[in-house]
Amino acid sequence: MADMSALLAEAQTYIPGGVNSPVRAFKGVGGTPVFVERAEGPYLFGADERRYIDYVGSWGPMVVGHAHPEVLKAVHEAVDRGLSYGAPTPIETAMAKKLCELVPSLDMVRMVNSGTEATMSAIRLARGYTGRDKIVKFEGCYHGHSDSLLVKAGSGALTLGVPSSPGVPASLAEHTITLSFNDSDGVREVFARLGDEIACIIVEPVAGNMNCVLPKPGFLETLREVCDAHGSLLIFDEVMTGFRVALGGAQAHYGISPDLTTLGKVIGGGMPVGAFGGRRDIMEQLAPLGPVYQAGTLSGNPVAMAAGLKTLELISVPGFFESLSEKTRYLVVGLRERASKAGIPFTTNQVGGMFGLFFTNEPVVESFGQVMGCDQERFKRFFHGMLDEGVYLAPSAFEAGFVSAAHDFEVLDQTLRAAERVFNRL
Ligand code: PMP
């Protein structure tokens, strides 16, 4: 049986921090990260031979559960036909068509290799289309690690306390205007002053990188309204929410149509995939049709397309999202009941298959400041208590959690029994 500390020590010799993405290092909660051997259904299996009920799901992609037999079969068949061709394939068209069918605002899409690439490219396209430089984002939202977007960001940037990274030139960051999520008045005020210089607003329609904060009624509508009034583009970053909160993404759930949408995570079924798409007249500005350049050696990779397309087929089955939402609701309601019995101030947010846990007395309905005000120390104790019980939560108080279709009620009940014991010890 492998010793996690030894694995970490060796990894740290060759990889900065021993990890290839910062939050994995457990800096937000302390302790040694779980090194994973394999995963199946709702479970991760650690190198320590322990089994964990997994609520991270590779940070969102594994919505049908790990190692789903049909997804693996599609991948195996694709692998047998070769790994990459660098030429167009029918499966890329099938994927693009499926995305356009499922997400109401998509006329055309372009595939990329990560969420970061999707948002970076969408921002370039918005700037190219409008001929403007300024962009608006919201504090605590994370849109990947490209320069323009790593300003007051969420996720790992927030967990590590460096929301605005060194290495981003001030001359670039000055084009990024950061406002408060859910602050419609702040948005109107900035657009009244600078609207005609703003290329786009980029927003996570449900903020999932500062824990999980839902849009207040009217907030997304205001974004649509000011963009229309000033000729700016509205970009919904649905890398996390796409095919996670509803089949048509958050835009279908809230009934708002963005000009551009960025996708990732679920659409790759666990393979490295992103996409951006939207209105035809905007997408036609992309090379080779238009002047805005964007490219990728491995974009639309056939193995990745096979995993993603099969995952999209599996989640298109009627009732999939109703069942996923019901399970997620069962989990968060159960957690609240048990916390309340133990006298622990605790609340939750949830939409579709994503959720947030907060150690606080008040409902978290506003924004970043409120999330920062929650009891982070108690979260850390809860996290480690649950890990000891064999439940793997996101190792940070600033990340959303995810339930998959493979989490059945027995698994959810096991989680709730574990939580009851941990709440009683907090
Ligand atoms: N946008 C959002 C909303 C995300 O949650 C993430 C990743 N968590 C990204 C963009 C970046 O995606 P990736 O990590 O695949 O580059």
Write down the ipTM of this complex: 0.99
- Calpha distance 235→210 (Å, rounded): 19
Distance, CA of 268 to CA of 306 (rounded, Å): 8
Q: HSE of 255 in the Cβ direction (CA atoms, 13 Å)?
A: 2
Whats the size of the chain, residue-wise?
426
The secondary element (H helix, E strand) that includes residue 49 is none
Cβ burial, residue 228 (10 Å; 0-12/13-18/19+):
exposed
Closest CA to 141 of 416, 400, 424, 422: 400
Task: Going residue by residue through the chain, which has 426 residues, state the pLDDT in tens, using 9 for 90 and above.
Answer: 789 999 999 999 999 999 999 999 999 999 999 999 999 999 999 999 999 999 999 999 999 999 999 999 999 999 999 999 999 999 999 999 999 999 999 999 999 999 999 999 999 999 999 999 999 999 999 999 999 898 887 777 777 766 778 898 888 889 999 999 999 999 999 999 999 999 999 999 999 999 999 999 999 999 999 999 999 999 999 999 999 999 999 999 999 999 999 999 999 999 999 999 999 999 999 999 999 999 999 999 999 999 999 999 999 999 999 999 999 999 999 999 999 999 999 999 999 999 999 999 999 888 788 899 999 999 999 999 999 999 999 999 999 999 999 999 999 999 999 999 999 999
Active site residue 265: yes
Query: 209 CA to middle of ligand 1, Å?
Result: 9
Helix (H, G, I), strand (E, B) or coil at 253: helix
Work out which ligand 1 atom sits closest to the CA atom of 119: 10
Radius of gyration of the chain (CA): 21
Residue 310: active-site member = no
Among 20, 24, 143, the mutation site with the greatest number of ligand 1 atoms within 8 A of its Cβ is 143
pLDDT of residue 77: 98
Instruction: List Cβ neighbours of 48 (8 Å cut-off, separation of 6 or more).
Output: 1, 2, 3, 4, 34, 35
How distant is the alpha carbon of residue 368 from its chain centre?
Answer: 17
* Domain covering 69-315 assigned CATH 3.40.50.300 in the classification: no
Phi, psi of 201, deg, nearest 5: -105, 130
404 vs 417: CA distance, rounded Å? 19
- pLDDT computed for residue 269 by the predictor: 98
Q: Given the structure tokens 């356009």, which residue do they identify?
A: 100
Domain ranges of the chain: 4-67+318-425, 69-315
Q: Which residue's CA lies nearest to atom 13 of ligand 1? A: 115
pLDDT for the residue 155: 75
* Cβ-contact 43, 53 below 8 angstroms: yes
Strand pairing category for 233-237 and 198-203: parallel
Fold for the domain defined by 4-67+318-425: Aspartate Aminotransferase, domain 1 (3.90.1150)
Burial 38-50 (b: 16+ CB within 10 A, else e): ebebbbbbbbeeb
What pLDDT does residue 156 have?
A: 75
User: In the prediction, which pLDDT does 65 show?
Assistant: 98
Return the ∠ at Cα 357 (arms to 154 and 396), rounded to 5°. 45
134 is catalytic: no
Pocket of ligand 1 (CB under 6 A): 59, 114-116, 119, 142-144, 155, 204, 208-209, 237, 239-240, 264, 274
Residue 164: what pLDDT?
78
**Ligand 1 atom with the shortest distance to the CA of 59:** 8
